[in-house]
Amino acid sequence: MQINGLLGELIQALCCLPGVGPKSAQRMAFHLLQRDRQGAGNLARCLLEAVDKLQQCSVCRTLTEEKICAICASPSRDQSLLCIVENPADVWIVDQATFFAGVYFVLHGRLSPLDDIGPEELGLELLEQRFASGDVKEAVLATNSTVEGEATAHFIAELAHRHRVKASRIAHGVPMGGELEFIDSGTLAHAFNGRTDL
């Protein structure tokens, strides 16, 4: 006997969450209905409001409920320092972990011709306008360290150079606390190439 009706629909709807399969969805559904109906109602309200109101910032393309996001609108941010990341999540990750005081630009992906993701999908036109305006002095490329991420970084670096904007790439190397024994050779080679004076 299958779980039908509203309960079945709820379990199927919960499967849209990343990392949640039918078994966890079933557990979540029963937990919410038996022990946290208030939380479930609150979650529904937040989902509806977020889907309705969160849109891309017209300047940096991160997710925001305003027309221009809090970071782009902040007068204390250095508008000449531009960090380019793949996802809105990366904005928060970089901002929480570093002392970076510039602004961001979100690509919402990376160049991937096989998946039909080209410069247009990444909003590179908007980015180029910003380079052309002369307001940006340095573009910090913080795309992921995957093959596509690297290719995207190089593509954008060329774009920046064309407009005489300095482009830099975040360092690759041994993670803090990492032991050489457990580091892959590619990372170790990068760490040697990128060594700094002490």
Interface stretch with a copy of itself, choices 12-20, 131-139, 141-149, 157-165 (CB under 8 A): 12-20
Least distance (Å) from a copy of itself to the CB of residue 128? Answer: 23
Q: Which is nearer to a copy of itself, 16 or 176 (CB)?
A: 16
SS3 content of the chain, % helix, strand, coil (to 5): 50, 15, 40
Q: Kindly state whether residue 26 participates in binding a copy of itself, applying the rule CB under 8 A.
A: yes
Residue from 81, 95, 117, 119 binding a copy of itself (CB under 8 A): 95
Q: Which residues pair with 139 in a beta bridge?
A: 82, 167
Least distance (Å) from a copy of itself to the CB of residue 96? Answer: 6
Structure tokens at 132: 């052309």
Distances (CA, A) of 193 to 111, 187, 188: 26, 10, 9
Name the amino acid, one letter, at 6: L
Of the candidates 89, 83, 85, 121, the one whose C-alpha atom is nearest the C-alpha of residue 103 is 83
Binding residues (CB under 8 A) for a copy of itself: these are 1, 3-7, 9-10, 12-14, 16-19, 24, 26-34, 36-37, 39-51, 53-54, 63-65, 70, 87-89, 92, 95-96, 108
